[in-house]
Amino acid sequence: MPASPPRNLITGGAGFVGSHLVDRLIEAGEEVICLDNFFTGRKANVAQWIGHPRFELIRHDVTEPIRLEVDRIWHLACPASPVHYQHNPIKTAKTSFLGTYNMLGLARRVGARLLLASTSEVYGDPEVHPQPESYRGCVNTIGIRSCYDEGKRIAETLCFDYRRMHGVEIRVARIFNTYGPRMLPDDGRVVSNFIVQALKGQPLTLYGDGSQTRSFCYVDDLVEGLIRLMNGGHTGPMNIGNPGEFTIRQLAELVRARINPDLPLTCQPLPADDPLQRQPVIELAQRELGWQPTVPLEQGLEPTIAYFREMLNR
Ligand code: NAD
Ligand code: UDP
């Protein structure tokens, strides 16, 4: 009998990052179960695979246990945009804690390897710049971002305790700001906000004076990094991000130069606990996975703008 293809469970698979991962794994000949509660995910993101013999879509909330026979669990389920994760912060914390607990329980029962989509937010508002994996972070435990930041920190802790106690094979990716097609237009994240505002001819909203920095990774680069991490021998935590650092004002300039250079930039209040700077050290990923991003921001903005242009014209 020919060997059967690997069976993948992708939680949050109908979301922005998850749906790109679904594409890659199906195209590689693997089986994919996409599990999502559709809080911020959309069926349209995976519609191209509905009816495909190696694809299944399950509506399920990861805060409830589930039994499935799989080899690999890509645990991405969790809203990622501050607007969405702050909408119901208690639910966000539950999703991170109970969701990761349930998925680790499943991994233990069926002997699957689990990759956790953690985040650069575990570094909080960092006093160390750029951020290596050894930096332990500066997170406010009681602020409006804490449900997400602390949720991901306990999710990482659970992964390493399941590894130590039960020998579960884990991989932990600390993902830095990622952008690309299939972000929601009303997502509230800065790349989608600026592009949608510019396409609608509206002023671009800088929170604060726009001097805070982020490092933006194109989604295809991120997915390649996640696949290499899952397939490799290093547990992480491993930073996966693009070290190209930009101020938010620079990002606004890049976006409006491509869409409408005459648009004004307006300043709005900086949200509480908004990190001042963020840039990954990616030496570990370079050394262990032979991975580094290949798409500079200026290049990745083009397909992202094209995606939103088409979406708004529909
Ligand atoms: P997203 O909001 O587009 O996707 C999250 C998906 O999880 C959505 O499809 C949503 O419906 C689903 N989901 C949320 N709560 C759920 C629940 N309780 N049960 C089942 N499904 C649930 O976000 P994304 O940008 O694709 O992020 C994916 C993962 O990567 C998240 O875990 C996020 O924390 C992590 N991450 C993303 C970024 C980024 O910049 N995109 C950065 C750091 C970490
Ligand atoms: N931001 C902004 N204008 C917007 C949306 C966001 O200036 O319309 C800023 C936000 O304050 C933050 C940065 O852009 O400093 C990145 O925000 P995002 O929500 O994309 O991600 P995160 O803060 O989680 O890194």
Residues 6 or more apart from 88 whose CB is under 8 A from it?
A: none
> Catalytic residue numbers?
148
Query: Which residues does a 6 A CB cutoff place in the pocket of ligand 2?
Result: 81-82, 177, 189-190, 193, 205-207, 212, 214, 248, 271, 274
Beta bridge partners of 58: 35
Query: Which residues does a 6 A CB cutoff place in the pocket of ligand 1?
Result: 11-12, 14-18, 36-41, 61-63, 76-80, 95, 99, 117, 119, 175, 177-178
Contact (Cβ atoms closer than 8 angstroms) between residue 243 and residue 306 = no
In tens, the pLDDT along 30-89 reads 999 999 999 999 999 999 999 999 999 999 999 999 999 999 999 999 999 999 999 999
Separation of 120 CA from ligand 1 center, angstroms?
14
Q: Alpha-carbon distance 115 to 195, whole Å?
A: 31
**What ipTM does this complex have?**
0.99
* Strand 217-218 with 178-179, pairing: parallel
Q: Alpha-carbon distance 278 to 216, whole Å?
A: 10
- Please report the atom of ligand 2 found closest to the CA of residue 270: 11
Stated as kind and residue range, the H or E segment containing 215 is strand 213-215
Structural domains of the chain, with CATH: 7-312 (3.40.50.720)
If you average pLDDT over residues 200-215, what whole number do you get? 97
Residue-level pLDDT at 314: 83
Q: Is the pTM of this model over 0.95?
A: yes
Which ligand number lies closest to the CA of residue 102?
1
Count CB neighbours of 234 within 10 A. 15
Q: Alpha-carbon distance 286 to 202, whole Å?
A: 40
